[in-house]
Chains A and B, each alone.
Chain A
């Protein structure tokens, strides 16, 4: 097995010294789509924010692309080749779609035009909107822009947080296969937090389930789907 792109080791993380995530161990390999599942408040978003360096871990270690991110500022971690499509999408509302994409482009000058083109190819719906301000887009278009911007940097690691939040299922069904395709074609490792368990597991290779800040289940997508009852219990609170 190739070296893992993301390796989270015994992570405790949270806000203001209060751990929301406790003792977490997960990893993502190249070309792999990994789903991070669990009910609201389980600590999934916290985990992603800690991986991308926005939050400092309380203890434990995170390796991204082979070296630790401890003490590294988030912009430095991002420049290693990590893209994070955040839960709030973090779009620049005052900038146009094109400007948003430009800011996401890879640092490599020669590949920028190509990356822009391929981002628009993946989300053709954005093409007629390039000169519109991002703040004026619909929810689905904003999510597409966030994804396109994340992919425009040709990332080696992609974190996607709640892609389906507030979106009609039909849009989600269209976007998830894109994630799969990216992983397959470029070897990008994807870690995605998703509410739609079925949809997420339909494209993922493996999955982790968290509840109350801890890992409760893990396994391949098939294994998790087979254990549907347990999965539901951890969502609907029957577990404790």
Chain B
């Protein structure tokens, strides 16, 4: 199995604060890899670093065996490394269809000359867009402005927009945020379908239920460091993970209880 994306001691610091420190992650082709961690653990920073939206302080990342250092976000996107945003960041003035086409089409410096003569020519990527819409059941919304859609629909459009590029690897940043339980389960089944179409996925989410149920392999990030990795079962039972999410382990809790009782009694 070849690694599609691999990071080597990736570190991102903001003024002395390590948002990511020495993160080593391997995303294998055809697998659904997940990254979880509590609020503020540095998950989005990681995606930003991989896709070029933030500067890497040290370490490096390789995509398809190519070093990513020095290429712009746009170049990375064109090379097949595509992301979605937690805040969606849709093109609100464009229709759903145009949102997808913008992502899918390749343009040249002379494209504007062609636009002047034939603005509505086929750009050769309509199939891709159709496919992405169909996969996520958005075909009916094709001509609507994204502005007018519901939150759940907008979430799906952002995933569809990522798919329309036919990426090698799609990085999903909190796609389930703000969805209710049913919607997030539907999303999970969509993700498995996407995987069957030769698009590798990397999922960041705080909905543990979703991540544990759909991912093949999971990394857990806390304080910018990878504290655990493994299959969903392994991660679920890992005491480090429970500690990261709840604060401390069962043993410590008892000690805390005692302390609390003493303190309350004392005042």
Residues of A within 8 A of B (CB): 16, 18, 20, 39-41, 138-139, 162, 164-166, 169, 177, 180-181, 184, 195-203, 212, 221, 225, 228, 231-232, 235-240
Contacts and interface: CB of A to CB of B under 8 A. Distances in A.
A237 B208 contact: yes
B38 interface: yes
Interface stretch (B99-107, B137-145, B174-182): B174-182
A228 B39 contact: no
A212 B245 contact: no
6 contacts: A195-B247, A198-B246, A199-B256, A212-B181, A237-B209, A237-B210
B208 A41 contact: no
Given A18-B178, A225-B253, A236-B212, A39 B40 contact: no
Given A18-B178, A197-B247, A228-B250, A39 B208 contact: yes
B180 A212 contact: yes
Contacts of A41: 177-178, 206-207
Q: Which 3 A-B pairs have the closest CB atoms?
A: A237-B209, A196-B247, A237-B208
A143 to B, nearest CB: 12
Given A139-B17, A195-B247, A199-B247, A40 B260 contact: no
Given A41-B178, A240-B209, 7 more contacts: A40-B206, A197-B247, A198-B247, A199-B247, A203-B260, A236-B209, A240-B181
A187 to B, nearest CB: 13
A139 B259 CA distance: 26
Contacts, number: 90
Interface size class of B (residues with CB under 8 A): 20 to 34
B131 interface: no
Interface in B74-125: none
A203 B257 CA distance: 9
Contacts of B212: 236-237
Contacts of B256: 198-199, 201-202
Given A212-B180, A236-B212, A238-B209, A225 B257 contact: yes
A28 B209 CA distance: 31
Contacts of B38: 40, 195
Contact of A200 (B150, B245, B247, B257): B247
A229 to B, nearest CB: 10
B40 A166 contact: yes
B127 interface: no
B151 A18 contact: yes
